A and B are shown apart, each in its own frame.
Chain A
């Protein structure tokens, strides 16, 4: 960019300059250094720039809330209206399933397009007790989540313990595999590049059987801990409904459940960049020990320092909390054990600090919480958690 033309710019000129407004609204990495240098070197323009930034930001409207439910309902109506007019029920069944998954993941699933592909409606189907792999060919495989090792080889083969599933080579480039972990279960997978991913209960991960040449992209709904194999030439992306995370090699935890109010990313080591999964999104760089929180209600990103142990301990079979409302803890336990936990009025005001061993059954775990706090709990044996 040439700086000469900006020397005589008024605030109005700056506001209407696309490069300038993109920088103000997105922390544009490419031109950021240019503007920072320009401001340093031309203090005489600082008033105009200050006004221009203020006006551009003030023009961002306060938006009323539009919920996912509203948007889903409209989609349902489009679907049902269309079904009666042109398409057969059978065709629409497939169509609907594809759409439902899409919204659950909300990401940019693109390479997974395959006519025979069938997608599950929800990751956390409470009735299933087994993990499930859905291959791009449409084939599904269920697996026990206890002591299971899932490995994706670079040739396209998928191994679950000693059971190897071979994918036909001509299909590999399009293929997107999905792993679905029901509530109450957890598992881990090693991808072809050596990246290790631990999936928590009620989570779903989609990844290409073979990564593209210039990037590695996976899609997540739910919670996972990532140990990404470093490869600066092929950045690793985790795409969730609300945020997109870029990594070169690092350890971090992402929690992005549809039913939670926030999406949280905690970095253990390495470095990541994250941004909202939408147009004009600002990116944020995260350092080890930091947490990035995306709040769904007002669509904001914020960053703070946290104790990482509180976020990655589930990988090792326990949970650590520090002054966390027990209602939030109950929600985690419900997912982990796939058992509903009844809450009493006022529970949200009670907080718990300490370590919970997830190898214990849920009654013991709740007992520990009750012991440390004044909360009472009840559990209904007959129902299972519904999403």
Chain B
């Protein structure tokens, strides 16, 4: 695919120098992704919209003092998340669990369209769907940032306030669990067989 546009650094600099069209471009390219990202944390659209308004209003107001960036998408996602979580916390609608860094990240996956591709058996896809639903919120967020937003490990780790190494591990574990779900048919059969043998073996001792 060809690159048809100026770099993020150029767009951001134009915006900082008071260029309104650059602001329009930044808003039109990023507002939807921020909204969709916000919806993973809360279904309360008012809070999401407030956070977006605050974010962009502050950007416009402080444009002269903003730092440079070569990745606008990442810059916005990061500051949007910070604002959104702060607002959620204030509204006490934020589902805090025991650990401070735990939070909600809900995402719906549907692999129904893969069935149409007919390369995979129904059963295999059911296991995969189950494994997708079983990912932890943090795993979901990390894979979302990697495979939907296309961010790099360094960026994801910064957004999720963890080391690059733990971020790699987090994503690797998620992927591994999905991969294993595809092998589950084989192991279930084995398990059933094993279980059957075991039970046959132990039956005399049970009631």
Contacting pair A78 B53 (CB below 8 A):
yes
CB-nearest residue of chain A to B32: A66
Q: Is B188 an interface residue (CB 8 A)?
A: no
Residue of B whose beta carbon sits closest to that of A51: B182
Contact B32 A71 (CB under 8 A): yes
- Other-chain residue from A55, A66, A99, A279 in contact with B150 (beta carbon distance below 8 A): A279
Neighbouring B residues of A16 by C-beta, 8 Å: 171-172, 175
B51–chain A nearest beta-carbon distance, Å: 10
Choice from A25, A78, A86 contacting B56 with Cβ under 8 Å? A78
Contacts of A110 in B (CB 8 A): 5-6, 11, 21, 25
Q: How far is the CA of A182 from the CA of B59 in the complex (A)?
A: 36
Are B148 and A108 touching (Cβ within 8 A)?
Answer: no
Q: For chain A residues 127-154, which have a beta carbon within 8 Å of chain B?
A: none
Out of A58, A64, A86, A106, name the residue touching B28 (CB < 8 Å). A106
Q: Which residues of B contact A77 (CB under 8 A)?
A: 49, 53
- Chain A residue at minimum C-beta to C-beta distance from B6: A110
Chain B residue at minimum C-beta to C-beta distance from A283 = B1
Check B114–A12 contact: CB distance below 8 A.
Answer: no
Chain A residues, Cβ within 8 Å of B109: 58-62
Least CB distance from B33 to A in Å reads 8
A264 within 8 A of B: no
State whether A275 touches B1 (Cβ < 8 A): yes
Report chain A residues within 8 Å CB of B35: 66, 70-71
The answer to whether A64 and B39 have CB atoms under 8 Å apart is: yes
What is the distance, in angstroms, from A27's C-beta to the closest C-beta of chain B?
9
Q: List chain B residues, Cβ under 8 A from A81.
A: 53, 57
Q: How far is the CA of A358 from the CA of B141 in the complex (A)?
A: 54
**The residue from A25, A26, A86, A95 contacting B61, defined by CB atoms under 8 A apart:** A86
Within 8 A of B (CB), among A11-28: 11-12, 15-16, 21, 25-26, 28
Query: Which chain A residues in 49-98 approach chain B with CB under 8 Å?
Result: 50-51, 54-64, 66, 70-71, 73-75, 77-78, 81-82, 85-86, 94-95, 98
- Which among A58, A73, A94, A237 is the interface contact of B128 at CB below 8 angstroms? A58
CA distance in complex: A275, B3 (Å): 13
Asked whether A57 lies within 8 Å of B24 as measured between CB atoms, the reply is no
CA distance A197 to B84 in the complex (A): 46
Name which of B24, B29, B45 has the most chain A CB atoms within 10 A of its CB. Answer: B24
CB within 8 Å for A109 and B143 given contacts A15-B175, A54-B119, A59-B109: no
Q: How far is the CB of B10 from chain A (nearest CB, A)?
A: 9
In the complex formed, the residue of B with least CB distance to A87 is: B60
Interface size counted on chain B using CB atoms at 8 A: 55
Alpha-carbon distance A51/B131, docked complex (angstroms): 14
- Whether the Cβ atoms of A74 and B36 lie closer than 8 Å is no
Closest to B33 in A: A279
A102 in contact with B53 (CB, 8 Å): no
Chain B nearest CB, measured from A70 CB (Å) = 7
Alpha-carbon separation in the docked complex, A246 to B171 (Å): 36
Nearest Cβ distance between residue A25 and chain B, in whole angstroms? 8
Cα separation A266 to B153 with both chains bound (whole Å): 41
Shortest beta-carbon distance, A107 to chain B, in Å? 9
Whether the pair B128, A12 counts as a contact (CB closer than 8 A) is no
Cross-chain contact B24 with A98 (CB below 8 angstroms):
yes
Do A82 and B60 have beta carbons less than 8 Å apart? yes
Q: Please, which residues of chain B bring their CB within 8 A of the CB of A6? A: none
User: Does A334 lie at the interface of the complex (its beta carbon under 8 Å from any beta carbon of B)?
Assistant: no
Chain A residues with CB below 8 A from B23, complex form: 99
**Residues of the B chain whose Cβ atoms lie less than 8 Å from the Cβ of A28:** 1
Residue B159 CB within 8 A of the other chain: no
Chain A CB within 8 A of B166 CB: no
Q: Within 8 Å of chain A (Cβ to Cβ): is B132?
A: yes
Report whether A58 and B132 are in contact in the complex, using a CB–CB cutoff of 8 Å: yes
- Residues of chain A within 8 A (CB-CB) of B53 are 74, 77-78, 81
For the complex, give the distance between the alpha carbons of A85 and B29 in Å.
25
| CB-CB nearest 6 A-B residue pairs | A102-B24, A113-B21, A58-B111, A66-B35, A59-B147, A62-B108
Binding site for B on A (CB under 8 A): 10-12, 15-16, 21, 25-26, 28-29, 50-51, 54-64, 66, 70-71, 73-75, 77-78, 81-82, 85-86, 94-95, 98-99, 102-103, 106, 108-110, 112-113, 215, 217, 235, 237, 239, 244, 246, 275, 279-281, 283
In the complex, given contacts A54-B120, A113-B22, what are 16 additional A-B residue pairs having Cβ atoms less than 8 angstroms apart? A29-B1, A54-B119, A57-B111, A57-B114, A59-B132, A59-B147, A61-B107, A77-B49, A102-B25, A108-B25, A109-B25, A110-B25, A215-B4, A239-B4, A279-B149, A279-B150
